Chains A and B, each alone.
Chain A
Amino acid sequence: MIFYAWAFFAFFVAFVALYSALLLLSAAELRRYAARESSSATRLMLRSPLAPPITLIVPAYNEEAGIADSVRSLLALDYPQLEVIVVNDGSTDGTLQTITEVFGLHRVRRPTPPYLPHEPVRAVYAPRSQLRLLVLDKDNGGKADALNAGINFADYPLVCSVDADSILEQDALTKTALPFIEDPAATIAVGGMVRVANGCTIERGRVIDANLPHSRLAMFQVIDYLRALFGTRTGWSAINGLLIISGAFGVFRRDAVIAAGGYRTDTVGEDMELVTRLHRTCRDSGRRYRIRYVVHPVCWTEAPEKVRDLRRQRRRWHRGCAESLAYHWRMMLNPRYRAVGLLALPAMLVFEVLGPVIELSGYVVTAIAFALGVISIDFFLLLLALAILYGLILTLGAAALEDATANRYPAWSDLRRILLYAVAESLGYRQLLHIWRIEGFWQLIRKREWGAMERKGLSRTPPVAPAPNTPAARHTLRHP
């Protein structure tokens, strides 16, 4: 029992130590960025022809409702040279028809470039006007598959994966392109900020007013995203240990992605897996490289407001996370991979995979110990307090950083709400997420068991949960 308490204790202290360090790194990085952002040098570079052309790739599955608005607002983004490739991933609704009508598309002859494998492209469409738009009509293969197809057809050196229902801000691309202009040789990928659009006033496909959501669940997710993106990702980016760039908004060097083999289609965490693999291939090739995260370019996305949907999303995320760790197990604690191998991957393993188990089992064990009289009430309460408080530091620190820099929620009432939910998060929401994390990993383990059994020749009825390869399932994955 005492051993267990020490383990519990050590876990929390390690968490606070690591994430406080990340917060400090984030703060330093944000300060450095602020100095650059308003300088005339930056303005000069962004206005110049040095801004690399970007291809936006929009995988679309059954998006007939919003696709036209979405594509239009992407084409109108404030960026010198960009093209949009919409990949119609075997939609069963009128997605293709809608977009054909709205943009006056006609079929063009374009042989499929062979860089990355994917489901066959049935036809390629382009508008008669000079719009830089291309539409690929292909057989269903999932989001990763669609992205690979888009990368194949992309004309430009940078590719950006965008979800069909995300809203990019006007200057999102220019701010994301800046690292590529400053350090073109080394910069491989840049991720941007994803914010929760629930509650915002959205008109004509633009976010007019940034408001906090009414829904409690969405509010918790706002805190969640702030914590992850402001608190940890910027910090990891500073030491080149960034493992996740959101699938909703990330810009990559096309040649680097192709050299690494493109997105994997057999995992649900393709965004994290690709970034991890990019670290690996770049390090293996010996070149100097940076994978960065910038908080200022913003992409707005809808967060699930029903518990059921959130649960499904989170289970998938964490399954994907575990899958990535499994695929790249060789990098774990491998000094060759520097920050990724020695810090980021172990941290992910300990705090994302093992962490939920440790924390939840800790509650259970201490409760039992208390009930049996093994520990005093003081100790019990103190341990409980520790379990609740340890996450709060990171959350509040991230909120502080956001408030001091981007400050998208300037009203005092907003701040009150954010602080309230930040505290409340530790009192149930986080624990709920832990349960779902464990469920996610459990799914992964079971999936491997099924695979093993199938190979042994046993016939088994497939699972009740949606199989990971159905079209709908493949497209609703979203990492923040």
Chain B
Amino acid sequence: MVRRLVAARLASDGYEVLEAADGEQALMLARTEHPDLLVLDKVMPKFDGFEVVRALREDPRTAGMPIVMLTERTSEEDVLGGLNLGVEEYMPKPFSPLELSARVRRVLARVGT
């Protein structure tokens, strides 16, 4: 349901949205479609969010892709835990779609799209 909520929010904001049901699909889509921004849930079937980020960072073609990660645990332990692989923003779960919208706008502005 998280995916649907995020997709609907961003679609109504006017972005073109592609959805992936699991980590494997997410990687595939990211590699083929080169989106301007990736919104990832930390917990997904197949690959989890961190693994997707790591895989993307390893590939020079996708290394610079901005990523917003949704995670239940935004404690320092989690973020500083060495797994801060260059995720632009962490959003806590449960989330407010408006808040997500604002952060997405902010990230895209920062990255210059």
A residues with a Cβ closer than 8 A to B are 47, 73, 75-76, 78, 80-81, 127, 129-132, 170-171, 203-204, 206, 208
Contacts and interface: CB of A to CB of B under 8 A. Distances in A.
Given A81-B77, A170-B48, A208-B46, A76 B83 contact: yes
A76 B23 CA distance: 14
A203 B24 CA distance: 10
Contact of B81 (A132, A170, A171, A208): A132
A177 to B, nearest CB: 14
Contacts of A129: 82
B-side interface mostly: loop
A73 B50 CA distance: 9
B77 A80 contact: yes
Nearest to B43: A78
B81 A75 contact: yes
24 contacts: A47-B72, A75-B83, A76-B48, A78-B43, A78-B48, A80-B77, A80-B78, A81-B77, A129-B82, A130-B80, A130-B81, A131-B81, A131-B82, A131-B83, A132-B77, A132-B81, A170-B43, A170-B48, A171-B43, A203-B47, A206-B48, A206-B51, A208-B24, A208-B47
A171 B45 CA distance: 11
Contacts of B42: 78
A341 to B, nearest CB: 42
Contacts of A170: 43, 48
A204 B55 contact: yes
Contacts of B50: 76
Interface residues of B, number: 19
Contacts of A131: 81-83
Contacts, number: 43
A129 B47 CA distance: 24
A158 B106 CA distance: 41
Nearest to A204: B51
B32 interface: no
A204 B47 CA distance: 9
Nearest to A207: B46
Interface string B71-97: 011010110111100000000000000
A130 B77 CA distance: 8
A167 to B, nearest CB: 12
A76 B51 CA distance: 8
Given A80-B75, A130-B81, A131-B81, A206 B43 contact: no
Contacts of B47: 203-204, 206, 208
A174 to B, nearest CB: 10
A414 to B, nearest CB: 18
B53 to A, nearest CB: 10
Contacts of A73: 51
A206 B46 contact: yes
Contacts of B43: 78, 170-171
Given A76-B48, A131-B82, A132-B81, 11 more contacts: A76-B51, A76-B83, A80-B73, A80-B78, A81-B77, A130-B80, A130-B81, A130-B82, A206-B47, A206-B51, A208-B46
Could you say which of B24, B42, B73, B81 has the most chain A C-beta atoms within 10 Å of its C-beta?
B81
A206 B44 CA distance: 12
A80 B47 CA distance: 19
B24 to A, nearest CB: 6
Contacts of B23: 206
A76 B47 CA distance: 11
Interface in B24-83: 24, 42-43, 46-48, 50-51, 55, 72-73, 75, 77-78, 80-83
